Structure 1
Amino acid sequence: MRTLKLALLGFGNAGRTFAKILEDKKQEIRENMESDILVTGITTGSRGSLYNPEGIDLKKAWSDLEKQGSFDRNGNDYSQMTSMELVESGEYDVIVEMTPLNIFTGQPATDHLRKAMERGKHAVTANKGPIAWHYKELKNLAEKMNVQFYYETTVMDGTPIFNLKDETLKFCKVTEVSGILNTTTNYVLEELAKGKNYDDVIAEGKKIGFVEADPSMDIEGWDAAAKITALLNVLMEADITPKDVDRTGIEKITIEDIKEADQQGKIIKLLCKGTMKEGKVAASVKPTLVEQGDLMSVIEGTSSVVQITTDLMGKLTIIEHDPDLLQTGYGVFSDVLRIVRNLV
C-alpha cells in the first residue's frame, strides 16, 4: 500500500471541502488505487496551523475551525508554522496551494510552488495567480525536477478543462478560447437588466454571497483577465500575464445600455477571448453584445462557459451549471488523484 503525504496551504471553504471529500473517499482510494493519502500539514493565515508527519485528524481539523474559528491550540498537532516554513522543511510528497489570490502578482503562491518543486515535491494549485503570472517558469521547473504539477481548479472549479486537453485531445492544436468566466459580472448584468439600481444590486449580491466585499476585481474585469490568461497560457502556450489582456470591465455599463441592447434583440455579457494573431496570442475581456438565444446569452447566474476551438476537433463547448464548493473541492481532489495514478 503506497502512502502519499499532502501539505495544505490554506484551509478555507474550498480546503475544508477538499478535506471532506478526501476523508469520504478514503476507503475507495485504498481499494481502487492501493494508496493511502495523509495530510501532514495545514497552514492558515490567522487561525493557526497543524503539523504531524504521521497524519492529521482531518475531521477534528475542520470541526474545530468551523465551530470555534481556529484550530485547537491545546491539541498535539497545533503549530505556529508558516506556509513557507511548511514548504521548506515539512514532510510531504505533494504541496496543495490554496492561499488567497493576489491577482496582480501571483505571490506568495508562486514562491510556495517553486520552493516545493525545488525540493522534488509534486504540486497542485487552486490559486490562479501562479498560472496567470508564472506558468511557463513553473511548468519548466516541474519538468526539470521530474515532478507533477496540476491546476484544474484555477478556472471553472473542478470542470475538466485542462484535463480534457491533456488526456483526450492529444495532438490537437487549440486556435481560440472564449467564454464567460466571471460569475459576479454575469449576476450584476442580469440584475441591472431587471431595472435594479447598481448599488442595490451590489448590496444584495454581497448579502447572498454572489459578490465579494470588494467587488472591484470582478467589476473591472481583473478576475476574468486572470482566468483567460491562465487558460491561454496552458492551452495555447501564450506566455502572457493579465496585464497583456485588452481589458474593459462593466463599471460603465448603464441601464440605458442594457435597454438599447434589448431593443436590438441582444444582451450584454462580459466575454473573454484569446486568438492567435500573427504568431502571438491576443487576449481580451470586454462587455459584448450577444444575440438573444445565442449560447452565450443563456449562461446565467453563477454558471460559466468556455469554448475551445481546435484544428482537429473543431469547437468544443463546456458549461458549468451553478457550481458550489463541492466542485471546487473536487477539482483539487481530482488533481491529487492524477498524481496518485501516475505514481502507481
Structure 2
Amino acid sequence: MKSEKNIRIALLGFGPVNRSFTEILADKGEGLYQRYGARLMVTAAVDSTGGALDVEGLDPGRLVKAKGFGSVAGYPEKGQTGLQGLDALARSEADIVLEATTVSMQDGEPGMSHVRAALSLGKHVVLANKGPLVRAYQALQSLAQDHQVSIKFSATLGGSLPTYNIGVRDLAGCTINRVDAILNGTSHYILSSMNSGVTYEEALAEAQRLEIAERDPTLDVEGWDAANKLVILANSILNVPATLDDIERIGITHLKPSDLPLTMLGTATRNDDGGYTLAVRPERLPEDHLLAALPPLSMGIVFHTDLVGPLAMTVNERGPKPTAAAMLRDVLEIAATGR
C-alpha cells in the first residue's frame, strides 16, 4: 500500500452524477485507499435545498441516505438548510471540487461562479458540468494555471469514454485529420429507432420512458448537447479556441422517413490551414464506418490521424454511474500527480 494521503472533496450539486460518485465512495472507498493510497473524504455536499459540511469528513452512505429523504441538508447534525455552494466551498477545506450542478448554457451559472471561486482559492476542479467550459474554456484554463491547480473534465466528453486521455496523451505526436463522434446518447437512440421504422414521436416517448431523454429534449434533439461537447473537444484536444458560433448545427426533429437511415454525428475536419471545420448534424454513414453499427444505447468516437488509426472507442452505458466513474478517474489522477 502507498503512503496515506487524505484528499478532501467538495461536491457542488448532488444530482444523479455526484450522488453516484458518493455511492461509489460508500462501496469502494476502502478498496480505493488500499489500491491508490488516497483516502477520499467528502467534506461538503450541496444540493438545491441546502447542504452538509464537516471538515473531518462526511459519511458517504449517510449522505446518500439523506438525499433519499429529500436533501443532503438532512444529514444528521452536519446538515444545513439553505447552505449555498460558494459558502460551502469556502468552508470545506477541500483539495478538489466536483462541480455537477444543472447546466445553464446562457451564462454557465451557478457552475461558472463555483469553478472560478474554487480555482482562485487554489483548489483543483473536476467537472461534469459542461456549461463553464463551453462559455469560458480558455479563461478558466488560464485561471487554473495562475493558481497552479488543474481543471479536469473527462466526464464532459462522452460519459466514461476516455476521449480526452486518448486524444491528448495516447495520440501525442499525431496530427488529427478528422474526428467522428456520437456523443449524445439520446439523439442516437431516437435516430436508431427511427432508422428501424419508428416515428420520431414514438422514439422520443420510449426514450423518455427509459429515462434517457428529458421531459424537454431540446438540448439533445436539436444538437446542442453534442455541440457543447464538440466545443470542449476542439479546445482541449485540437487546440482550437472554438465556440458554439463556430459549429454548424442541425437537429433531428425535421427528418422524414425518406431521409433515413441517418446518424447524429459530430465531426471535426482538419483544413489545409491547420484549422478545423466543426459540425453536428444527421449524416448517412457508409456500412464500413466504425460507428455504423453502434448499438442504440451507446456512444462512440473515431480519431483519424496521420500515424495511428483510425482509432475507435465505444461504450454502452445507461444511468449516471459511468459519468461518475469518469470523475473518479480525474480525482485519482490529481491525487497521484498533484495536477
Asked if TM exceeds 0.5, the reply is yes
C-alpha contact 2:32 2:39 (8 A) present in aligned 1? yes
d(CA) in 1 for partners of 2:329, 2:170: 16
Select 2:262's aligned residue among 265, 268, 278.
268
Per the TM alignment, residue 293 of structure 1 is displaced from its structure 2 partner at its CA by: 4.9
User: In the alignment, what sits opposite 1:10?
Assistant: 13
| 1:292-307 paired onto structure 2 within 5 Å | 292-307=287-302
* 1:327 aligned counterpart, secondary structure: helix
Deviation at 1:89, TM superposition (A): 4.1
Aligned partners of 2:66 and 2:74 also within 8 Å: no
Deviation at 1:200, TM superposition (A): 2.6
Is the contact between residue 185 and residue 270 of structure 1 (CA under 8 Å) also seen in structure 2?
A: yes
Change (3 A) 1:25 1:276: same
Please identify, of 51-60 and 25-34, the stretch whose mean Cα deviation from structure 2 is larger: 25-34
The corresponding residue for 2:25 is 22
Contact residue 221 and residue 247 of structure 1 kept, 8 A = yes
Q: CA deviation at 1:238?
A: 1.2
Distance 1:291 1:309, change over 3 A: closer
Q: Which amino acid aligns with 2:305?
A: T
Match of 1:195 in 2: 197
Query: For residues 175 and 131 of structure 1, do their structure 2 counterparts lie closer, same or farther at Cα, with a shift above 3 Å needed?
Result: farther
- SS of aligned partner of 1:114: helix
**SS at 2:312's partner residue?**
strand
- CA distance in 1 between counterparts of 2:324 and 2:249 reads 29
- Deviation of 1:96 after TM superposition, in Å, equals 0.6
Shift of 1:219: 1.1
- Counterpart position of 1:141: 143
Name 2:129's counterpart in structure 1: 127
Offset at residue 73 of structure 1 (A)? 3.5
SS of the equivalent of 1:15 reads helix
SS of the equivalent of 1:176 reads strand
| Cα distance in 2, alignment partners of residues 166 and 287 from structure 1 | 27
Q: Which residue of 2 aligns with 1:69?
A: 70
1:212-243 Cα distance to aligned partner (Å, 9 max, x none)? 11011111111111111111111011111222
The residue aligned with 2:251 is 249
Identity %: 28
Seen in structure 2, the aligned counterparts of structure 1 residues 252 and 51 have a Cα distance that, compared at 3 Å, is: same
Provide the aligned length of Structure 1 versus Structure 2. 334
Q: Give the Cα separation in 2 of the matches to 1:40 and 1:324.
A: 25
Please identify, of 157-166 and 328-337, the stretch whose mean Cα deviation from structure 2 is larger.
157-166
Equivalent residue letter for 1:55: G
Counterpart CA distance in 2 for 1:84 and 1:72 is 15
Of 261, 274, 277, 1:282 maps to 277
Question: 2: CA distance between counterparts of 1:128 and 1:275?
Answer: 22
Aligned counterpart, 1:209:
211
Residue in structure 2 matched with residue 117 of structure 1 by the alignment: 119
- The amino acid that maps onto 1:73 is G
- Give 2:157's aligned residue: 155
Return the offset for 1:152. Answer: 0.5
| Residue number among 322, 334, 340 corresponding to 2:335 in the alignment | 340
Q: Which amino acid aligns with 1:15?
A: N
Amino acid in the other structure paired with 2:8: K
8 Å CA contact 1:22–1:333 kept in 2: the answer is no
8 Å CA contact 2:291–2:301 kept in 1: the answer is: no
Gaps of 5+ in 1: 259-266
**2:317 aligned counterpart, secondary structure:** coil
In structure 1, the residue corresponding to 2:72 is in which secondary structure?
coil
Q: Equivalents in 1 of 2:40, 2:180: separation in Å? A: 36
In structure 2, distance between residues paired with 1:284 and 1:75: 49
Q: Is the 8 A contact 2:179 2:303 kept in 1?
A: yes
The one-letter code sitting in structure 2 at the alignment partner of 1:306 is: I
Q: Secondary structure at the match of 2:262?
A: strand
Residue type of the alignment partner of 1:275: T
Provide structure 2 residue ranges, at least 5 long, that are not aligned to the other structure: none
| Higher mean C-alpha deviation, range 323-332 or range 189-198 | 189-198
- Shifted more, 190-199 versus 111-120: the winner is 190-199
Alpha-carbon distance between aligned partners in 2 of 1:121 and 1:72, rounded to the nearest angstrom: 24
| Alignment match of 1:83 (pick from 82, 85, 104) | 85
Q: Which string of whole-angstrom CA distances, capped at 9 and with x for unpartnered residues, describes residues 78-116 of structure 1?
A: 123211222344321111101111234333212211111
CA contact (8 A) 1:120 1:147 kept: yes
The amino acid across from 1:17 in the alignment is: S
C-alpha RMSD of the superposition: 2.0
Distance in 1 of aligned mates of 2:147 and 2:309: 35
Residue 307 of structure 1: SS of its match in structure 2?
A: strand
3-state SS, counterpart of residue 7 of structure 2: strand
Deviations 1:302-332 (A, max 9, x none): 2011112233324311111234332111101
